[in-house]
Amino acid sequence: MEKTKIQSISKSKIVDYSEKEIRNFWLKNELNKKTSFIEEILSNYKNSISNELTKIQDSSIIKFILQNIENSFFNTFIQNNPILNSIWEDIKKNVVFNYILKDTQDSVICIQTEQIDDAKLITEIFNASKRRNRIYIFTNEEPEKLKELAGACLIRYGVKNIGSFILINPNSNNSQGILFTAPFLESSFSSSNIALELDKNQINILFRFFSYNFWNKATHEIIDNFETAKSVSEPPLDFLPNIQDFCDFDFVKQKISEQTDNLILTVPRIETNHLVDFKKIQNSKFFTNFQNNDFDLLHSIERNENEILANQNQINLRLIISDNNESWLIPKTHISNEDNIFALQLNDLQKSKLKKVIDFLFENAKYEYHFSKYRKELVNRNVRLISDLNNEITIKELDSQKAEDINSPEFVEESNFESQEPKFSDDNISCKIEFKWNINPFYLPQNAKRAKIYEEWHKVENEFQNICHQLEKSISDNENRNITEKLKRFILGKKQSFSKNIEELNKFKAIKLSDLEISKRKERITEFNNLIKNVSVNIFEIETEVKKSEIDNEIEKLIENKDTKEKELKQFIEKNEKEIEQKETNKQQKLEEFCNKYDTKISELGKFKSELQRKKDKKKQKIEEDQKILEELQEIEGFNFRNKFEEEKKRFESEIRKIEQEIERKEKEKSKIGNETDQQTSSLNFVISGKESKSKNQKLEFTVPEKLLSLPKIGELYEQGNQKFLAIEFWEDYEIGKQETERLNAKLCAKL
């Protein structure tokens, strides 16, 4: 059966987050694309409106525009269309300027605004001043753009007004008025501000509000010279402040605070203010911008069963509509305690118009605020988290995510390895996430090196095999020795023993000691050393017999040599004895003749010789004669045949003694062969140890170092510093590998 390789695996898991909540977010609405009545008008008449707007004279057309266009924010449609947005800007300007100021003469015109810089409106005011109109302008600060109007109208400033309105002939039967929810700035007409036509009662209330503030609260005025603004003069009449109407702040605040249920509110932002306590409102609808809100307050509002809708485009209107009570329009985006606040109390017509516009806004609102919803309720919906409003995200039903790969810090059993999971990171937007990751086993460190134990065992195994081969060679050499006839029977007996030795030796050659358990290895080494001993004994016995045989042969040769020498001595004596006697007799005769010749005796030849050798007091001739006599004597005496004979005889005897001594030495040498010391220096000892042992007690045996551990039964052993690693390749080897790591004091790991 094929084994399972240990390697990295890929895993996946689907984690269900559908019951998790998405908190504090704007939910993007799925809008039905409907063409509203206003869109139809603009679609059908935009070209004629754009080309002919400045020529409009018929007030009925202007009223039509007022009724159908002026009160719409067009956040969804117009502001996202550059052409229609431009048309809308021109429409609002012409409604304000043409409808209110055009052809007005012999009238009183009251204009209140926070600021004014629109050139077209300033021109219309200047033109109106030429038609015998008395014009009063009230601003928050010195209106630098109105320099051309100095002397044409009375300008006062110094109060923090809100919004803008124009009143014509207030407190008269033909009064007219318009309220604009922003300053008369060029930029105001390009944003989502509205203009409302005022009824008579509203005009009267606003005129009283204007008169009181204009004459009693303004700090500076400009009459003739714009460069020299003066402090205000005394009012021509006593003007009383508004009481119990929509320009009475306390009255407005009280009325608004009484309304808490079933309201429709549009506010530029949700924040705490001193006019409306949002926390008390319930069962109502809010429309606002989706940015810059107090989100703790948002949450509080939602908890009171309120619906909160929003668009991305700026909403500049503060509006409170109630079906059962008063409805209010606050004509400024952001108000503060310092503002001169009023809130227009809407009439039924205004309320109806604005209600339609608000309904349109709600129908087309892009976002709805929710504090909390389960993700499963938001599948495939888009949201903007309060914590990251700049990014719109889609709540996915299923997403795929690459989880962090797991690099196992240690080697574990297969089922535990495969069950490892990373830390799953919720993306906070998906109902389910399929996580994918890889699990890498605890691999052998890259810089780990093969353990030294392999090299040590390699040396041991080589030594073991070398001894086996040398034993085999020694047996073969001894089996094939050139031997004498008398040793053939002895060697034949040893060959039978050698055959058994070879059989055992072949079994040992097939053994790998490093694979054996310690107990088994010790047993086999003991058997092997017994084999070495047995072979050694056999070789020793052969070598002993061979040596003895060789010495016997040498002794025999020495004896033969001795016999030969003794015969030669005998022959030498017999031959030379007679010759020497004859030679000595002849010599004696010659000496006697010499003595007779020179008148001396044989016994006195020494003295005679000395005299001949003396040269003192002798003449030369005499010396020469004596020298000749001396030479004659020396010739007769000549060689001493007896001495030479004796010397030669002694040489023969010396050689015979040396042979006898060598025979004796060989006999002693033979007697010593076979003792224990000889066995230590046998040829097998040289094979195994490589040199002659100097120790008399050294045993001829193979050993494995005590501290040398057995090689692992499975895998390979590596080292990194002092740490050992056992690397395995297959899961089936795990259990054995685990046991081996305990024995080897190593860490289990996977082989790369």
Q: pLDDT (tens digit, 9 = 90+) per residue, 244-285?
A: 999 999 999 999 899 999 999 998 888 887 688 899 999 999
Map residue 592 onto helix, strand or coil: helix
pLDDT at 641: 66
Burial class (CB in 10 A: 0-12, 13-18, 19+), 462: exposed
Residue found by looking up tokens 């390895």 in the block: 417
Q: How far apart are the first and last CA of the chain?
A: 22
Q: In this predicted structure, what is the pLDDT of residue 49?
A: 45
3-class SS at 399? strand
Contact (Cβ atoms closer than 8 angstroms) between residue 491 and residue 546: no
Kindly report the pTM of this predicted structure. Answer: 0.60
DSSP classification of residue 376:
G
Structure tokens, 693: 């042992």
Three-state DSSP state, 231 = strand
- Contact between residue 324 and residue 318 where contact means Cβ atoms under 8 Å apart: no
> Mean per-residue pLDDT for 166-189?
90
Residues 6+ apart with CB under 8 A from 317: 73, 181, 192, 193, 194, 266, 268, 329, 333
Question: CB–CB of 23/371 below 8 Å?
Answer: yes
pLDDT computed for residue 565 by the predictor: 86
Which ranges of 223-380 does DSSP label H, i.e. alpha helix? 249-258, 295-303, 348-363
Average pLDDT over residues 203-224: 93
Tell me what the pLDDT averaged over the chain comes to: 83
Give the pLDDT mean for 476-503: 80
Burial-class residue 128 by CB neighbours within 10 Å (0-12, 13-18, 19+): buried
Measure the CA–CA gap between 18 and 28, rounded to whole angstroms.
Answer: 19
Would you say residue 746 has pLDDT above 80?
Answer: yes
Query: Is 193 in contact with 316 (CB distance < 8 Å)?
Result: yes
Helices (H), 181-322: 200-216, 249-258, 295-303
For 410-457, what is each residue's pLDDT tens digit? Answer: 999 999 999 999 999 998 889 999 999 999 999 999 999 999 999 999
Contact indicator for 181, 70 with CB cutoff of 8 Å: no
Of all residues in the chain, what percent carry a pLDDT higher than 90?
A: 41
**pLDDT greater than 60 at residue 48:** no
Overall average pLDDT of the 129-134 stretch = 92
- State the Cα–Cα distance between residues 569 and 245, nearest whole angstrom: 177
Confirm if 320 and 263 have CB atoms less than 8 A apart.
yes
Tell me: the pLDDT tens digits for 553-606? Answer: 888 899 999 899 888 888 888 878 777 777 778 878 888 888 888 888 878 878
Q: Is the pLDDT of residue 44 over 70?
A: no
Give me the residue label for tokens 């060697």. 491
